[in-house]
Amino acid sequence: MLFGRRNKNPIRLHDKGVVEWRYTTCGYCSTGCSIEVGLDREGRPVSARGVGGADVNRGKLCLKGILEYELFRTPGRGAHPLMRAHRTEPFRRVSWDEALDRVAEEIKRIQARYGRDAFAIVSTGQIMTEEFYTLGKLARGVIGTNNYDGNTTLCMSSAVSGYKRSFGSDGPPGCYEDFEHTGCLIAVGSNLPEQHPVIYWRMREARERRGFPLIVIDPRVTMLAQQADLHLAIRPGTDVVLFNALAHVVLKEGLADMDYVRRHTTGFDEFAAEIERWDPDRAARVTGIDADTIRHVARTFGQAPAAMVIWTMGINQSTHGSDGVVAINNLCLITGNVGKPGGSPLSITGQCNAMGTREWSSCSGLPGYRLLENPAHREEIARFWGVDPEFFPKRRGMFMTDIFPAIETGRVKGLWLIATNPMTSMPNTERIRRTLEKLEFLVVQDAYEDVETNQYSHVYLPAALWAEKEGVFTNTERRVNLIRNVCPPYGESKPDLWIFNQIARRFEQGRRMRFPETPRQVFEEMKQLSRGRLVDISGMSYERIEAQRGIQWPCPEGQEKGSPRLYTDGRFQHPDGKAKLIPLPWEDDNERPDEEYPFWLNTGRVVEHFHTRTRTGKIGNLNRFSPTPYMEMNPDAARELGIEHMSYARVTSRRGDAVVLVQLTHRVPRDMVFIPFHFHDCVNRLTLGLLDPHSRQPAYKQCAVRVEPAPDQEAAARRNAAARAY
Amino acid sequence: MQQPRPDEPDYAFLPRRPAPERSRWGTPIELARPEDPVAREPLRINGRESRSDNPDRYRQHGFYFNADNCIGCHACETACAEKNGLPPYLAYRSVGYVEGGTWPAYRRINISMACNHCENPVCLKGCPTRAYTKYAEYGAVLQDPDICFGCGYCTWVCPYNAPQLDLERGHVHKCNMCIDRLEAGLKPACVAACLGGALDFGVIETVPENRVQCEAAIPGFPDPAITRPNIRFQQAASTPDELARPDSVPVRYVRETPGQGEHRPRPDPLKLSRRRGWGLGRLRSREDPLVVFTLATQLVVGAFLALFLGERLGLPGLGAAEALRHGLLAGLFALQTLAIALSTLHLGRPHRFYRAFNNLRWSPVSREVASLAVFYNLMGGYMVLELFPAVAAWLPAGWGAALREGLGWAATLAGPATLWFMHRIYRIPARPFWNHWQVLTAFYGSALVLGPLAVLAAWALAAAAGLAPSVPGPAQSMLGLAALAGLGLEGFGLWRHARAMRREGGLGTAAHLEQTTRFGWTYLARNGALVLAAGLVATLAWMAPTGAAAAAGWTAALFLAGAAELVGRALFYVLVIPTTMPGAFFWKNPGFQDHARAVGLARMPQVGVLERTH
C-alpha cells in the first residue's frame, strides 16, 4: 500500500506558466546578480531565477532576488502625479504636465529669490547609470545648484573618500574572483551572510576549495563571525587603531613589501612615524583586542602570499569612516596587496547602483570621476554639454548630511528627493521631521507613494521601478550590467530618465542642450566621456554586456573583455602616479556609554529587508522573517533591568526614544544593543550620526542609549503596530 | 515542470554516488526493481507523462543538512515559496534556530527543515482520506490536496511540522520533493538555492562531497525512531551544552554530560510562567469543536450504556419509566448528531466528510469515524424501533423485537469500541503529553461519569416535573456508583499521567509545568471540582433524595462533573507541545503569532500570520 498509486490522481504541482525569460540585473544590493524574470502568456512577471552563466552569481540569488518579480505588484505604488499647496492639505491628482511645470516654476522661483544653491537635489543609488548621468547634467548644467548629492553619503562616501585619499580616485580595485586567490581574508564591519549573501556564497565556495583563513572584526557574533577562523570582537569606533597596530606589527616584523612601498607609494616616513606610536599593547587597551591576537592577525595577513580586506558599513558609518578606509588601504599598500589576484582592499558596496552614482552622477564632481576642482575637467565637460564653464562651481557643494542642516537654518528652501527616504534613513528622525517641515517646496520622486518622506512633499512624481525601465548598474567589483525592460511602468508612472528630460525641457538652458530620449543614446554619450578615463566603458555595448553577463570597467574600445582589477601595474591616480601612505592619528570622538546612557547602540541590516522597507516590507514571503523591529540584547544585562524575551523595551538616547521588541541573545555583549535600521520611527529616532570629517557620512553605529522595560506593554505594542504602515 | 536553465551550473544537478543497499534502519534503499510493474509506469505530473532515465530513480532520496554551514539566509525557504506559489502564512520549508554560549563564545545553529519523506510516513498512515502516497520514485511522500478534507491529523502526527494546514484554503499541502525537478535531473529548488553550503540532496545514506558526517539527528531534531526520516546531518562544530530556542515554546536542549552525547529537550524555566495563573484567555483553541465532540460522544456512549444495560440488567424503576427512556434516547441521538456535525464542520472541507473512511487499514481517525458511524447507526436503529415499534410491524412476529435487541447489544459493543479508537487518535509519539494511557482512562472515565449522571439528572428532573416516576434509591446508588467509578478511573489516570509527565523530562514535562504554572489555578480548580463532584455523587447515592432535592442534586453533580471535564479536555488540547522543530524569533514563533493577532499586526498579510485561527 505504501507505494501503490492505483486510483490516485496525477501529481499536480504549482505551474507558473512561464513562456519567456528576460535578462536583467537585480535592483537591491550591489552584488550585481544577473536575474531572469519569467513572464507568463499574458506577459505578467511571475517568476525569477538566477542566470546560470553569469560570473557574479552563477545561477544563485538571495531571497530578495528570488522574489523580486513580486515587486511589480507591491502595494503603495504611485500611479499618478500628486500635488498640493501645503503639506497639511490632501494631495490632488494632477497631470504630468501640471506637476512638472510646478516643479520647474518652483525651482526657478526659489533660485531667483534665494540664490541658485537654495534649491537642493538629493538622489540615490537605486536608479540606472544613464539616469544618474542625465540627472547630473540637469543639476550641474541646467539648474546649476551646487547642493546636489546622493544618499550614497549615508552608505559609501567613506569608501569613496578613502579611496580618493589613498589612490587618487574612487573605484574598488578588487573583485570577487580574488577570493579564489587570496591567502588571508579580513572582513571588518561586514556581515556578508546578512548583507550580501551571494558574495558570501562566492567566498565560502572558494574557502571550501582552498581553505584560506577568514578573520572577522565585528563587535557582534554575526553568522560570518561564527564561520570565521578568528573573530575579533572589537570595541565600536576603534578600527583605525586596530589597523594602525596591524601595520605596526607588519613594519616591525619585516613583513612589509618595502620594494612595493618604494616604487608605488609616497609618504612612508610620516606614516611610519605615526605607526610607531601604535604598538599592539597600546592598541589593545583601546580596541579591546589583546596584543597577541593583534600580532597573530598581522602575521597571518603579512605572511600570506596575497591578502585582502573587505568592509562595509562597520567601517564606513563611523566618525573615522574615511580614516578607516585609508587605514585598510595603508595595510594593503605596505604589504603590496593592491591590484593583485587575491590581494585587494575591496569595499563591499550597499546599493545596486551606488557605484553608478559615484561614477556618473556628478554628485561630488563631474561625470566619469572628474572633479569640479579641476579647471580642465570643467572646461571639458562644459564643452561637451554646451554649457558655459563658468556656470560650474569651482568646488563641490554640500553633502546630503550638510544639506539637511542647511534646510534647518533656512539656507536651502527647496528640495528634490529622488528614490530616497530620509524620514526613515537619516539619523535623528525627529530632527529630520522638523527640517522637512521648513521647506518651501519639496518634490518627492519615488516609485512608492507611501514612502514616509512623502508626508512632507508638495509634489509627488511617480517613478517607474527597476525593470519597468532599461539601463545599466555598476556593482561592487565595477561590473556594468544590464537591466532589460521586463514590463511597462505601473499606472502613469514614468522612468526617471523621462522625468529628468521633461524637467530639462522646462528650462531655457535645458532646451539648448542635448538630452537624449533613450537610455541607449545616453549610454553612448557616457562612453564618449569615459574614453581614456579610469572608468573607461567605451568598449561596452548593451548587447556585449548582456552576452558577457556584465563587463568590469575599465574596458576601453577594442578590448574584448573587462578588467577584473585596478592598479595592476602599480600606477595610481594621484598626479605622481603613486599611492599615498597617510598617517592616521586617532582621537576618540564618539558618544560613548556612560552612567546615564550605559549601552552602545549598534545598527545594521537583516537579510530579508532592503533599506527602508518600501519594497521588502510589502512582500510577505520576505517581510514575515521580521515584520516588526526588534532589539538584540544580552540576557545578563536584561536580567538586571527586568527585561524579558519577547517583551517591549523603551530605548532612550539624547535624541529621542523608541519602543522595540526585545530578543535576548548572547550575540551582543553586555553593554551593547543592536537594532536593525530598516524600520520607520524606530532606531533612527535614537541615532546621533556624528559626521566623518572627510566623507560627511553619519556614524550610525556608535552612540549611547538607555534601556528600560516599557511600563505599559500594551501601549508599547500599539505604538509599534501603529508605526507599521507596511 | 521545471527544466534545467541554459548554463545550468553543476551544483544544481543530482549527484551520482555509490549508495549502500540498506538504510541505517535496515530497510532496502532500492524501493522497486526494474522488473516491478511500478517501474514501468510513468509519473504523471501536471498532465504530462514523465519517464526519467535516472538509474537512482527507484532509490530512496533524502535531504542532507550541514548545520555547521547554515547561515540562516532563508534562500531555501524562499526558493520553495517561489516555486510552489506559497502564501506568506505558511511554508513547506522553514529555518529556525537554537543558540547557546556567552558572548563572544556564542553559537547559533540554524536548522532548515522540510518534509523528510520518511520510511515510516506517519502522515500517510494517519491520514483518513488517503491523500498521501509514498512513491517508489525517489521515495517521495506526496500529498494530494484534492483528496484531503482538511482534518489536520497529519499535522498532529508529523514530528517535523512538515504538512501545513492551510486554513484559508481548507486543506493541507506540503513539500513535494520538487519531483518535477528530480525528473529533469535537478536537485530540489531549496537545495539549488542554498548559499551557505548547508543543504544538499541525494540517495539516502550518501555523503555529499567535502562533508564528513552522516548523522540521523542534530540538536532540536525529534527522535528519528518515530518515523525513520530520510534526512541526514552534519554537525561537527562543537556546540554549547545548553541550547535555547528563540521562540516561545518552553523547551531548550541540554546535554547531560558536558561536551558529550546528545542534546535532549528539557523544560526551559526562563520561558515558563513563574507565577501560578488561570490562563483562561489561552484555554480556547482551534480544537474547541473537538473538546465538545469528544465529551459529547463520551456522554452519549455512557448514557446509552446506562439506559440499555440498566434496563436489561433490571435497574430498579427504569423499565417502568418508558417515556423517560424514550426521551433520553431521542436526546442522546440528537446530541450525537450535533457532535458529529460539529466535528465535521471543524474540517477544512466538510463536504468531503465521506472520505473519512478511506484509510481503515492505518488511520486511527478512519477507524474512529467508522466505529462512531456504526455506533451512531446502531443506536439510531435501536431508538427508532424502541420509539416506533410499528416500523417493524411488517416483519414476522417477534422479529422486530429481536432486531431491536440485536441493534442495542451491538451498540453497547460499538460505543466503547468507538472510545477505544478515539483514544488511539491521541497516542501520538510526536506529542509526548498525549502519548500516555491516561487518554483511555479519561475517555472511558468521562463516559462513566457523564453518562450515568446525565441519566440521573434527566430522570430526577423529569420526576420532579411529574413526567416520570421518581428515581428509586437503588437506581441512584447503582448509577451513582458507576459515576464514582468513572471519577476514580479519571483521577487515577490523571495522577499517573502527572507523575509520568514529571518524570518524562522533556516536552511532556514542559507541558505539565505549563499546566501547573500558567494554567495552575485552572488545573487546581479542575482537580478540586473532580473531588467535589465525587463527594457530591457519593452523598447523593447514599442519601437517595427525592423530588426537587434529587433533581437539584443530580443536576448539580452533572454540571460540576461536566465543568471539570470540559476544562480538563480544553487543557488537554492546549497544553500539548509537539516535537516541532525550533522556530525563529518571528517566523514559526507561536508567541509572536498570538501577539500579532492580539495587536492587529496580523491584519497585514505580509506579516505572515493568518488572522483567523480556525
| Residue B204 and residue B67 share a domain | yes
Which residues 672-711 on chain A approach chain B with CB closer than 8 angstroms?
Answer: none
Q: ipTM of this predicted complex?
A: 0.95
Please give the average per-residue pLDDT across A418-440, as a whole number. Answer: 95
Residue type at A20 in one-letter notation: E
Interface residue of A22, A200, A624, A630 to substitute, partner B, most B CBs within 10 Å: A624
The strand ranges marked E within A634-683 are: 648-652, 657-664, 672-676
The CATH code of the domain at A599-722 is 2.40.40.20
Q: A406-417: string of b/e by CB count within 10 Å (b at 16+)?
A: bbbeebbbbbbb
The C-alpha of B215 sits at a distance from chain A's nearest C-alpha, in angstroms, of 21
Q: Which residues of A touch B6 (CB under 8 A)?
A: 52-53
Structure confidence at residue A9 as a pLDDT band (50, 70, 90): confident
| Tally of domains in chain B | 2
Does residue B531 fall inside a structural domain? yes
pLDDT digits (tens, 9 = 90+) for A541-560: 999 999 999 999 999 999 99
Please give the average per-residue pLDDT across A526-542, as a whole number. Answer: 95
Q: Which residues of B touch A628 (CB under 8 A)?
A: 586, 601, 607
Does residue B253 fall inside a structural domain? no
**Residues of chain B under the 70 pLDDT cut:** 614
State whether the Cα torsion A677-A681-A683-A686 is positive or negative: positive
Phi and psi of B563, rounded to 5°?
-65, -45
pLDDT for position B614 = 66
Residue A8 has pLDDT above 90, yes or no: no
**Contact yes or no for B592 and A646 at CB 8 A:** yes
User: Smallest Cα–Cα separation from A473: which of A515, A437, A420, A519?
Assistant: A519
**Contact yes or no for B99 and A665 at CB 8 A:** yes
pLDDT digits (tens, 9 = 90+) for B563-607: 999 999 999 999 999 998 899 999 999 999 999 999 999 999 999
Phi and psi of B263, rounded to 5°?
-80, 130
A 10 A CB-CB count for B275 gives 7
| Residue B285 and residue B196 share a domain | no
Structure confidence at residue A313 as a pLDDT band (50, 70, 90): very high
pLDDT digits (tens, 9 = 90+) for B236-276: 999 999 999 999 999 999 998 888 888 999 999 989 888 89
The C-alpha of B587 sits at a distance from chain A's nearest C-alpha, in angstroms, of 6
Q: Among the three residues B240, B270, B298, which one is the final residue of a domain in this structure? A: B240
User: Smallest Cα–Cα separation from A473: which of A565, A537, A399, A421?
Assistant: A537
**Contact yes or no for B75 and A666 at CB 8 A:** no
| Residue B413 and residue B285 share a domain | yes
pLDDT for position B33 = 87
| Residue B132 and residue B45 share a domain | yes
Element (H, E) at A554: none
Q: Which residues of A touch B75 (CB under 8 A)?
A: 60-63, 66, 197
User: Smallest Cα–Cα separation from A653: which of A687, A700, A679, A682?
Assistant: A687
Asked if A15 reaches chain B (Cβ–Cβ under 8 Å), the answer is yes
A57, A349, B71, B74, B126 from A607: Cα distances, Å: 17, 15, 11, 8, 38
Say which residues have a Cβ less than 8 Å from residue B104's Cβ, sequence separation at least 6. A221, A225, A231, A233, A669
Identify the CATH number of the domain in which residue B225 sits.
3.30.70.20
The C-alpha of A647 sits at a distance from chain B's nearest C-alpha, in angstroms, of 10
Range of the domain at B474: 280-575
Please give the average per-residue pLDDT across A349-358, as a whole number. Answer: 92
Q: Which residues of A touch B99 (CB under 8 A)?
A: 665-667
Please give the average per-residue pLDDT across A608-624, as a whole number. Answer: 96
What fold characterizes domain A173-347? Answer: Dimethylsulfoxide Reductase; domain 2 (3.40.228)
pLDDT for position B553 = 96
Count CA atoms within 13 Å of residue B246 on its CB side.
29
**Contact yes or no for A624 and B608 at CB 8 A:** yes
pLDDT for position B392 = 86
| Residue B184 and residue B113 share a domain | yes
**Contact yes or no for A226 and B108 at CB 8 A:** yes
Helices (H), A386-472: 400-408, 422-425, 429-437
DSSP string, B19-35: --SB-TTS-BSB-S-TT
d(CA B404, CA B397): 13
d(CA B342, CA B614): 13
Percent of chain A exceeding pLDDT 90 equals 97
| Residue B49 and residue B148 share a domain | yes
Phi and psi of B191, rounded to 5°?
-70, -45
Does residue B259 fall inside a structural domain? no
pLDDT for position B36 = 85
pLDDT for position B393 = 86
Dihedral of CA atoms A503, A509, A511, A513 in degrees, nearest 10, equals -110
The pTM of this model reads 0.95
| Minimal-distance CA residue of chain B relative to A607 | B73
pLDDT for position B37 = 82
pLDDT for position A3 = 53
Tell me which DSSP letter residue A488 carries: P
Residue A4 has pLDDT above 70, yes or no: no
The answer to whether A690 and A319 have CB atoms below 8 angstroms apart is: yes
| Residue B397 and residue B318 share a domain | yes
- Domain positions in chain A are 18-73, 82-155+352-552, 173-347, 599-722
A385-392 LR contacts (CB < 8 Å, sep 24+): A385/A137, A385/A141, A385/A513, A385/A514, A386/A512, A386/A513, A386/A514, A387/A140, A387/A141, A387/A509, A387/A513, A391/A141, A391/A144, A392/A140, A392/A366
User: Smallest Cα–Cα separation from B185: which of B16, B7, B6?
Assistant: B16
Asked if A62 reaches chain B (Cβ–Cβ under 8 Å), the answer is yes
| Residue B332 and residue B190 share a domain | no
| Residue B326 and residue B199 share a domain | no
How many residue contacts between A and B have a Cβ separation below 8 Å? Answer: 232
pLDDT digits (tens, 9 = 90+) for A97-119: 999 999 999 999 999 999 999 99
The C-alpha of B129 sits at a distance from chain A's nearest C-alpha, in angstroms, of 12
**Contact yes or no for B195 and A221 at CB 8 A:** no
Q: Which residues of A touch B108 (CB under 8 A)?
A: 221, 223, 226, 665, 667
d(CA A461, CA A98): 11
Asked if B71 reaches chain A (Cβ–Cβ under 8 Å), the answer is yes
Residue A627 has pLDDT above 50, yes or no: yes
The C-alpha of A277 sits at a distance from chain B's nearest C-alpha, in angstroms, of 29
The answer to whether A306 and A335 have CB atoms below 8 angstroms apart is: no
The CATH code of the domain at A18-73 is 2.20.25.90
Residue type at B614 in one-letter notation: H
d(CA B491, CA B241): 38
Asked if B281 reaches chain A (Cβ–Cβ under 8 Å), the answer is no
pLDDT for position B551 = 95
Q: B587-607: string of b/e by CB count within 10 Å (b at 16+)?
A: bbbebbbbbbbebebbebbbb
| Residue B382 and residue B469 share a domain | yes
pLDDT for position B273 = 84
Structure confidence at residue A6 as a pLDDT band (50, 70, 90): low
Asked if B175 reaches chain A (Cβ–Cβ under 8 Å), the answer is no
pLDDT for position B483 = 97
CA A606 distance to own-chain centroid: 14
pLDDT for position A7 = 61
**Contact yes or no for B83 and A718 at CB 8 A:** no
**Contact yes or no for B1 and A15 at CB 8 A:** yes
Does residue B349 fall inside a structural domain? yes
Asked if A480 reaches chain B (Cβ–Cβ under 8 Å), the answer is no
* Grid cell of A252 as nine digits: 616591525
Interface residue of A1, A7, A13, A718 to substitute, partner B, most B CBs within 10 Å: A13
Task: Name the residue facing B9 among A15, A48, A58 (closest C-beta).
Answer: A58
The CATH code of the domain at A82-155+352-552 is 3.40.50.740
Does residue B252 fall inside a structural domain? no
pLDDT for position B482 = 96
Say which residues have a Cβ less than 8 Å from residue A100's Cβ, sequence separation at least 6. A81, A461, A499, A502, A503, A506
Structure confidence at residue A1 as a pLDDT band (50, 70, 90): very low
Label residue B527 exposed, middle or buried (CB < 10 Å: 0-12, 13-18, 19+).
middle
Asked if A254 reaches chain B (Cβ–Cβ under 8 Å), the answer is no
Say which residues have a Cβ less than 8 Å from residue A486's Cβ, sequence separation at least 6. A22, A24, A37, A39, A45, A72, A467, A468
d(CA A103, CA A96): 11
| Minimal-distance CA residue of chain B relative to A47 | B82
| Residue B285 and residue B230 share a domain | no
The C-alpha of B210 sits at a distance from chain A's nearest C-alpha, in angstroms, of 8
Identify the CATH number of the domain in which residue B432 sits.
1.20.1630.10
Does residue B218 fall inside a structural domain? yes
pLDDT for position A84 = 97
Residue matched to cell numbers 460499538: B414
Tell me which DSSP letter residue A392 carries: S
| Residue B170 and residue B29 share a domain | yes
